[in-house]
Amino acid sequence: MYLRETPFRLGLVIVLAFCSRIQAQTPPPFRVDSPDEAQEFFRLKRVPAGQAAIPVERYFTALERMRVMPQRSSARNEALPSRAELAGRGLSYTAEAQTLGSWTQLGPGNVGGRTRALVIDPVNPKNMYAAGVAGGVWKSVDGGQSWKALDDLMANLAVSTLVLDPKDPKVLYAGTGEGYFNGDGVRGAGVFRSANGGATWARLAATADFHYVNDLAVSAKDPRRIYAATRTGVWRSLNS
């Protein structure tokens, strides 16, 4: 019996060895994308030497320098006052933006992103606000048929949460920083407030250390009472 099984066993060993050799020579499937490595490369290109994260505070410094820089009107082909000078005259640079010339979007318009928040004006439901984690705050005045970016010059466009003042829907709060531990999450710069329906924004100074704001809530009884859920816990303010 042993002698009859020996050729069979020998043949089986040879077949298995041959299959193992073929498998060893077959290269593993090639991955065409490496999202984690790409995001890390994106970060390293922008991080200053000796630092581990992109310091978003530098945007505030840059915006302040922009305020005092003269502007150039491509439509008029002449120099214009700085934003600080316009503000001193009681003029808004957004109202004078048409003097700088117009832009036409070239696209693409079919690429979506992560929209973390959507709020609707309870007084006028056609007014809607959406928060994009890489595009700031957008507004629609026709019930969502069309949208417009409110302020591309916010110091941080990684808006993850939005909330309206229940007693005054023109007052909005935007929390920045996508704190969901995803590889492409961008660090925030605190909570921003708008008192004019999103036309202009200012950071609440007490929230400068809020790098990741995941949720906001405003008390219906006392709008000064604001709650912020961050990576470091839940915080409350009594004066906005």
Looking up tokens 């202009």 gives 200
Q: How far apart are CA 61 and CA 143, in angstroms?
A: 36
81 or 27: which carries more pLDDT confidence? 81
- Phi and psi at 100, nearest 5°, equal -90, 0
Kind and range of the H or E run holding 5 = helix 2-25
The pLDDT-based confidence of 170 (bands split at 50, 70, 90) is: very high
The pLDDT tens digits of the residues spanning 17-52 come to 656 655 555 555 656 667 677 777 877 888 888 887
> Above 90 in pLDDT, residue 95?
no
110: exposed, middle or buried (Cβ count in 10 Å: 0-12, 13-18, 19+):
exposed
For 5, the token pair is 């099984």
Per the model's pLDDT, the better-predicted residue between 37 and 203 turns out to be 203
What pLDDT score does 46 carry? 80
For residue 192, count other CB atoms closer than 10 A to its CB: 26
Of 117 and 12, the structure prediction assigns the larger pLDDT to: 117
Residue 3 has pLDDT above 50, yes or no: no
- Poorest-confidence range of 13-22, 90-99, 120-129, 167-176? 13-22
More confident residue, 109 or 115: 115
- Residue 134's identity, in one-letter code, is A
Q: Is the dihedral of CA 182, 185, 189, 195 positive or negative?
A: negative
- The mean pLDDT of 83-107, rounded to a whole number, is 71
Question: Cα angle at 32 between 26 and 36, to 5 degrees?
Answer: 120
Residue 119 has pLDDT above 80, yes or no: yes
The pLDDT value recorded for residue 2 is 40
